[in-house]
A and B are shown apart, each in its own frame.
Chain A
Amino acid sequence: MKKVLAILLSAAMILSLAACGGGTTVQSAESAAAETPVTEAAKEEAAPAAAEEAAPAAEAPAKESKGVYAIITKSAGNPYNEREASGFEAAITGAGYEAIIKHPAEITAEAQITLINELVAQGIDGIAIAANDFDALETSLKAAMDAGIHCICLDSSCNPASREVFINQAGVKEVGQCLVDATYDLTGGEGQWAILSATSVATNQNAWIDAMKEILKDDKYSKMELVEVAYGDDEQQKSVDETKALLQNYPDLKLINAPTTVGIAAASKVIQDEGLCGKVIVTGLGLPSEMAEFMEGENPACPYMFLWNPIDVGAVAGYTLMAMVNDGFDGGQVGASFTAADGKTYTVSQADDGGTQIIVGPPFKFDSSNIADWKTVY
């Protein structure tokens, strides 16, 4: 009696789980597709396409034909990553292929390696990954490439040995230059300023901060004093504490430069609430939707900031993978180029780390004049 009951219960449980697991896959694919494109027209196009292929994706992932591409973002639940994935998906499905979106559960290389293994087992055609660690993904990505899968990085690079090409949203030096120039411009070229970063191991932020420090060695910036690099860990509570501590420890602080979404919004919020707008200026890299509140109006906490379009970054990664698989485009060849479905031509250039990269475009400047248009986009 006991045993029979136990068997029945566990069987029922597994079945129900299997059912709800399958259900959510299709549902989430649909909802992701519905959010995808920027314009309403594109929305209508993409939604049915994604819905159609979500069903076969669940039944038969092992496709022999060319045409399954995957993107692995840095983490789940971040609008920036979601937009990047939606750009990728729109590019792939727009060409009639199948796109897989994978967000790791944690912001670690370990979680990403698990996802890579799953994709290798499915025998897909291409992987675009926003790496959480520069070196740690090497073995798994090499194994993927050995299995005949094209691997490229986007947004955040892994080392040259483990990628074919890096889709760089904007050159590291360019971003650093932009941020330093903004600081120079907003402080009038002199005075104390501080950086409020994400976590101390965030790969992109560290690269930009290093680039900034390199640029600051120029005589032009000698009167600007970088007093501290603080880490808000991309948590609001900690970012607020760090910002307030900066204001308290450096009463003459003129500017806070935060190259991270949570940090720049938290710093701007503190400046606005304390009524310090204009006295202490915030700039950096941030999402327009999060920052709109602090950039509109007469005397905004943040006069301007920069970012690129994550949708474009994702889309270019998609175009590149398709060009590699279908047209034999070689991402490792400096000077090689291809023309994507969006009509633009992308050319491979040398990256600073010895590998190759495709630069999507310069950072885009957001200010009070254009923020209202962009805040609803991403």
Chain B
Amino acid sequence: MEDTVKREISAKRDKSFKSIFFRWETLLVLMFVAVNIMNICISKNYLNGNNLFTAICTFIPKGLIAFPMAYLLVLGEIDLSVGSTVALSATTMAVLFNRGVPLETCVALCLIVATACGMLNGLILISFPELFPMIVTLGTQTLYRGIAEMILEDESAGKLHLVQWFYDIYYKKLGPIPICFIVFCVMAVIFGLVLHKTVFGRQLYAAGSNREAARYSGVPVKRNRFICYTLVGLVSGISALFYASWMGSIRSDIAAGYELEAVSMVVLGGISTAGGTGNFPGTVIAIFTIGLLKYGLGLINVNSQTILMIIGAILILVVMAPNIKNMIKARMAVKAQKAEQ
């Protein structure tokens, strides 16, 4: 008896889930294809495997952060401190390495510092539920960046490329495919599965659509919020590793503005900032669509400000498209009704 009820509920969910998937994701996939076709048409240099992977790798550090950010947005929250977390953890790693600490230890510390940054955000927010994530993380954004500045002052730290295995994190390739791209894909799959196939993921949706209701029905909202912020910190640390391996040298002003780019990719992927809606594959497609569009426009030397404008317009147009479609539909329905009468 219990079994059948459960199955029914899950089947129902799957159905509604599917319909969302079809509406939003088809649009995104179409856009992704359209961007690629456009790129192939406007530049002969676009379809070059080597260069294409080089270009894709440049948006991997940013893109990674969008994964846990998607979790936060599903919860109806936001973290504006990720860019500063990347800067602080990378700074810690580079400075310690220059002081003679073995790089393995530095890497571990980088991840620990980043995770601690995320935990601090989470801790403040669950201890003071009256506070809004946006203002708290705006504060820690300044704080973390400030600590990075305190550590590095006006210097840059680095020479990280002297260690071959660290250099390989970003640049090593398996055949034609860079390892960081593989890591990115694996992480995407894991994050997607956790969000859509586990109890934890379901709980995030529940808490995102109605926090009070979720709490009364036994969802550990506090714990989940804390886990999500910690996760954002940890992934920022991984992003910092990729960034450091990419650049080889670190300054305190790196990764500024990652937070809003990550948020816009997630929203473009169909997850609303209001929480409780959207799903993960959209985020991944959005990351690639935006990244490749930027690359394609760069290949024909459109100036960077115009590219920014185009990206801004696309953000709005894509989010607007379904609404306008609904408006037209509603109007047509009204007309049809009138015609019948």
Contacts and interface: CB of A to CB of B under 8 A. Distances in A.
| Chain A–chain B contact at Cβ < 8 A | yes
Nearest to B48: A121
B29 to A, nearest CB: 10
B325 interface: yes
Interface string B299-341: 1111111111010011001100110110011000000000000
Nearest to B167: A139
Nearest to B62: A110
Contacts of A2: 23, 325, 329
Contacts of A41: none
B189 interface: no
A206 to B, nearest CB: 5
B281 interface: no
A45 interface: no
A106 B256 contact: yes
A208 B48 CA distance: 42
Nearest to B317: A13
B257 to A, nearest CB: 7
B154 interface: yes
A11 interface: yes
A241 interface: no
A214 to B, nearest CB: 15
Contacts, number: 171
Contacts of B294: 114
A61 B43 contact: yes
Contacts of A103: 303-305
B154 A200 contact: yes
B142 interface: no
Contact of A13 (B247, B297, B304, B314): B314
Interface stretch (A15-23, A179-187, A303-311): A15-23
A341 interface: no
Interface of B: 23, 26-27, 30-31, 34-35, 38, 42-46, 48, 51, 54-55, 58, 149, 152-154, 156, 158-159, 161, 171, 246-249, 251-257, 294-295, 297-308, 310, 313-314, 317-318, 321-322, 324-325, 328-329
Interface of A: 1-3, 5-7, 9-11, 13-14, 17-18, 20-22, 24-25, 28, 57-58, 60-62, 76-77, 100-106, 108-111, 113-115, 117-118, 120-123, 133-136, 138-139, 143, 199-201, 206
